[in-house]
């Protein structure tokens, strides 16, 4: 089975959809509610992982886009994804909330 990379538009849509999901999960949620609700935390973390993975794919496959959009922190998004994915039970919810 051959893996075909997504088009740039697909990756950008994935990022936008993940942001919209995060917004919807946190619609009626303040920091205290977020900090005490592991279900919402897990959903938000998962969507940050999606943003980071899509960002890495854009960086890898579309370097010219990265250069012309240097104001968008694609690298930082991927680094955050790595911290979340490999941090397991060490996720700093304060940093996550500030990022939101």
Q: How far apart are the C-alpha atoms of 52 and 80, rounded to whole Å?
A: 7
- Residue 3 falls within a domain, yes or no? no
Q: How far apart are the C-alpha atoms of 57 and 45, rounded to whole Å?
A: 18
Look up 46 and say whether it is catalytic.
no
* Residue tagged active-site, from 3, 14, 69, 81: 81
- Residue 97 falls within a domain, yes or no? no
The confidence score (pLDDT) of residue 61 equals: 95
The confidence score (pLDDT) of residue 88 equals: 63
- Residue 2 falls within a domain, yes or no? no
Number of structural domains found in the chain:
1
Looking at residue 72, the DSSP 8-state letter turns out to be: S
- Residue 15 falls within a domain, yes or no? yes
Q: For residue range 31-87, list pLDDT tens digits in order.
A: 999 999 999 999 999 999 999 999 999 999 999 999 999 999 999 999 999 989 887
Q: Does the pLDDT value for residue 14 go beyond 90?
A: yes
Top-confidence residue, 95 or 18: 18
- Residue 99 falls within a domain, yes or no? no
The confidence score (pLDDT) of residue 37 equals: 97
- Measured from the Cβ of residue 66, the count of other Cβ atoms closer than 10 Å reads 16
The confidence score (pLDDT) of residue 1 equals: 46
Look up 81 and say whether it is catalytic.
yes
* End-to-end Cα spacing for the chain: 37
CB 64 within 8 A of CB 84: no
The confidence score (pLDDT) of residue 92 equals: 87
Please state the pTM of the whole predicted model: 0.88
* Domain, as residue range, for 18: 8-92
């Amino acid at each position: 089975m051959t893996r075909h990379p997504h088009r740039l538009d697909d990756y950008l849509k994935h990022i936008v959809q993940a942001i919209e999901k995060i917004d919807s999960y946190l619609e009626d949620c303040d920091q205290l509610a977020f900090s005490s609700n592991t279900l919402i935390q897990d959903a938000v973390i998962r969507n940050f992982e999606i943003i980071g993975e899509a960002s890495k794919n854009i960086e890898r496959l579309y370097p010219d886009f990265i250069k012309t959009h240097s104001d968008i922190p694609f690298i930082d998004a991927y680094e955050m994804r790595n911290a979340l994915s490999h941090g397991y039970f060490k996720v700093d919810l304060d940093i996550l909330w500030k990022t939101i």
